[in-house]
Amino acid sequence: GESVGLHLPTLSVQEGDNSIINCAYSNSASDYFIWYKQESGKGPQFIIDIRSNMDKRQGQRVTVLLNKTVKHLSLQIAATQPGDSAVYFCAENIGYSTLTFGKGTMLLVSP
Amino acid sequence: DAGITQSPRHKVTETGTPVTLRCHQTENHRYMYWYRQDPGHGLRLIHYSYGVKDTDKGEVSDGYSVSRSKTEDFLLTLESATSSQTSVYFCAISGPPLATANYEQYFGPGTRLTVT
């Protein structure tokens, strides 16, 4: 079957580089945001979340930045590894307990 | 996959036949969701449930129905499958039993459905 990764914007990096994946969200009233990673043939995997009362949150090798003024979200991955190659989605809450997802960015990491 | 299973994992069916997909969780999460994922469209919400027998429509609910008779099971039914329903279907769960805020969603492994 056709891969979910086709027709997506692609970010290509070298192993060891830092990666930045960007996402513009649509609803100025959204107050909760999540980044997901999806490897081929698997379900989306939760990476990190952030609520609108924060502008930055750090996890293991990942940082999410939130700019509510311009409705922009970014995911920074430090020291990118080949295992980070996947499609990355941002999601925003569109109502109580429901999310809407961006179309995703494919990250390709070459050794 | 956070205690979520989906069955079947793959199915091929003919146009006009009914199809039921099952999602089972062992996490006692309050919310359960069905999404479809198609190239060029990303993940789109079909239906969701906020408790036993409590369900609501999502963005692309036409042609689908759901039922949740137990906390752990959420069924998605295509009453009469069409070729446009060929897709990968994901179940997700979220939130503790008395959740009153937004929580991260955890996804199952997916079901690839082909309607011929």
Secondary structure (H, E, C), B25-77: ECCCCCEEEEEEEECCCEEEEEEEEEECCEEEECCCCCCEEEEEEECCEEEEE
* Confidence check: pLDDT of B96 > 80: no
Q: What is the mean pLDDT of chain B?
A: 93
Banded pLDDT at A26 (limits 50, 70, 90): confident
* Confidence check: pLDDT of A6 > 70: no
pLDDT at B95: 83
* Beta-carbon separation of B94 and A97 below 8 A: yes
* Beta-carbon separation of B107 and A44 below 8 A: yes
Q: How many CB atoms lie within 10 A of CB A29?
A: 9
* Beta-carbon separation of B102 and A97 below 8 A: yes
pLDDT at A2: 42
Q: How many CB atoms lie within 10 A of CB B27?
A: 15
Q: What is the mean pLDDT of chain A?
A: 91
Report how far apart the first and last C-alpha atoms of chain B are (Å, whole number): 30
Q: How many CB atoms lie within 10 A of CB A102?
A: 20
Nearest CA in chain B to A39: B109
pLDDT at A27: 87
C-alpha to C-alpha distance for B46 and B26, rounded to whole angstroms: 22
Query: What does the pLDDT look like over A57-85, one tens digit per residue?
Result: 999 999 999 999 999 999 999 999 999 99
Of B39, B45, B105, the CB nearest to A7: B39
pLDDT at A1: 38
Alpha carbon of A101: minimum distance to chain B alpha carbons (Å): 6
> A99 CB near a chain B CB, below 8 Å?
yes
Query: What does the pLDDT look like over B37-83, one tens digit per residue?
Result: 998 888 999 999 999 999 999 999 999 999 999 999 999 999 999 99
